[in-house]
Amino acid sequence: MSQSDGQGVVSEFLDEIEPTIFVFGAAITLIFVVAFVLNPSGSYDYVLGIKNWIQQYFNWFFLLVMLAFVLFLAFLIFGPWGKLRLGDEEPEYSYLSYFAMMYSAGLAAGIVFWGPAESLSHFAEVPPLYDAPPKSAAAMPIAVEYAIFHWSLTQWSCFTVMGLAIGYFVYNYDAPLRVSAVLTPILGADNVDGYIGKTVDILAVFATLGGVATSLGFVGSQFITGLDFRWGIALGDVGTILIITGMTVIFTASLILGVNKGIRWLSNFNMVLFFLVMVATLIFGPTLRILDLGTQAFGRFVTDFFRMSLYTQASQPPSWDRWVNQWTVFYWLWPLAWSPFAGLFIARISRGRSVREVAFAGIGATSMATVPWFIIIGGSAVIMQNSGVAHILGPINQYDASVSGFVLFNAIPVIGPLLLVAFLILVTTFFVTSADSSTLAVSMITTGGKEHPSSINRIFWAVAQGAVASILMVVGGVEALQSAAIITGAPFAIICLLAMLGLVRTFQKESGGVLLQDRTKLIGAPTSREETADKPTVAGQDDD
């Protein structure tokens, strides 16, 4: 690259950034990292205290809000508002590629990571909602049921609500392609760029870094713990940083290729490998027992969904260490921390699609992929542990949940070692696509909504994510990562709720307050970017 080319790249970077959001987002991240470097124990205790306070007093709120998102999206799938569209252009991607990118941008790396581990955890310590002896035959369907519950409909709901709100107001009301677009019904599209909108975008930058750092730490710990367990290689703090740095380099390289060449190709590869691992495990594992256990677990999930969704463990005094806080509430706050970038990425790839298509892809199609994974992988782990074919809980107690996949796949006859390699590749590639989309989203936020930010911008935020994950892993481990996800996710429960209420208000106005019959009869709803300039913003519309 010549000197003039280099100057051109730097000039593009400086010209595109939105100074307030970029500077404050970077400054908050820098302060966070420096605090942990200079005072690890004090910073860790402070973060842990905030996390415990949030879980102790507001767990009921997060449970209610996430259930509301699921019910809202179900109404969009089956109700009349599903006919509305995000702009009037043709969709950019095929539905399969669209779904693959949406799935990969979400918590798919966590799904793969926890596939063999979570059911085993609930098998060893039965959730207090149920009365069954631990490590018993009665605990087996409960274990798989709760894993399905934690990773299917509800987790994906906040991503989808955020993506719908951003996409609808960007493509129909010309709001900027930023998280703050969800405030369009409150502020009006012309005022989203004010200090309230910028505050939301700054929070989105920090939340994204905290949420992705959690996943990067989980993936890194899986490799580090696995190397120690399988081959006796203990890497220490330097090794942890090297592993996470290597992951960062991989997803940065993919990120620079962009959505079409990088993220879409890798997402399609992910889904093919995901399907192959699942099918191979079913065929070479205890097939009939998996199907029997899975049917029972899925039936319990359907019938007990609302019980699990509203269970606060009220029989115990309010405290941060309730089982429901350590599991369900954490699992709702983690995706809430991801909701800014996942929602922005979903909006970026959803132009031209109907509200029904986005809602179904968000919680319907994703659940159709996730439920079989936990039935097959989680069910295999529980069955093999209970039957004595594999002793997985011992290594988990000695190390942590990261080793579960190593033990499980080694116990599967004929192709076990091959499945283990595929499993590790899958965890990595799913994380890479998640990190790609998150970095792209942060870059878009900090450029004021530019769809194709410069390479320097993307590299900067990729390095920032790697730095946050490395510091937290070395100083506080997984507990520090979980605390960061909870703290950064909590404010977005409120923002996602505002996004949902804004969509309800807008859809009601556009359908004239009655059931939608014809898209051409919508009241005050701009249908393209060209029309938007001549239309009032949502906040400024007449109620007539």
CB 465 within 8 A of CB 136: no
pLDDT of res. 377: 96
d(CA 382, CA 115): 11
| pLDDT confidence tier of residue 521, bands split at 50, 70 and 90 | very low
Q: Tell me the per-residue pLDDT of 388-421, one tens digit each, with 9 for 90 and over.
A: 998 999 988 887 777 888 889 989 988 988 998 8
Residue of 211 and 17 predicted with greater confidence: 17
Per DSSP, what are the bridge partners of residue 85?
354
In degrees and rounded to multiples of 5, residue 490 shows phi and psi of -55, -50
pLDDT of res. 214: 67
d(CA 115, CA 402): 11
Q: What is the mean pLDDT of residues 38-62?
A: 87
Mean pLDDT for all residues in the chain: 83
Closest CA to 258 of 70, 456, 455, 126: 455
**Which of 97-106, 209-218, 221-230 is modeled with the greatest confidence?**
97-106
% of the chain with per-residue pLDDT over 70: 84
| pLDDT confidence tier of residue 517, bands split at 50, 70 and 90 | very low
190 pLDDT exceeds 50? yes
Q: Tell me the per-residue pLDDT of 446-469, one tens digit each, with 9 for 90 and over.
A: 887 777 788 788 888 877 777 777
Q: Which domains does the chain have, with CATH numbers?
A: 17-538 (1.20.1740)
d(CA 332, CA 156): 9
pLDDT of res. 542: 40
User: Residue 291 is encoded by which pair of tokens?
Assistant: 């199907």
d(CA 181, CA 175): 6
Distance of CA 537 to the CA centre of its chain: 30
Amino acid symbol at 254: S
Closest CA to 292 of 146, 408, 148, 141: 141
pLDDT of res. 524: 37
pTM of the entire structure? 0.85
Cβ-proximal residues to 477 (8 Å cutoff; 6+ apart), any chain: 217, 221
Q: Round to the nearest angstrom and report the end-to-end CA distance of the chain.
A: 59
d(CA 508, CA 520): 15
pLDDT of res. 527: 42
Q: In Å, how far are 27, 323, 361, 448 from 22, measured between CA atoms?
A: 8, 38, 32, 9
Q: Tell me the per-residue pLDDT of 292-311, one tens digit each, with 9 for 90 and over.
A: 999 999 999 999 999 999 99
CB 462 within 8 A of CB 29: no
| pLDDT confidence tier of residue 478, bands split at 50, 70 and 90 | low
pLDDT of res. 278: 95
| DSSP assignment letter at 354 | B
| pLDDT confidence tier of residue 281, bands split at 50, 70 and 90 | very high
Q: Tell me the per-residue pLDDT of 68-93, one tens digit each, with 9 for 90 and over.
A: 999 999 999 999 999 999 998 999 88
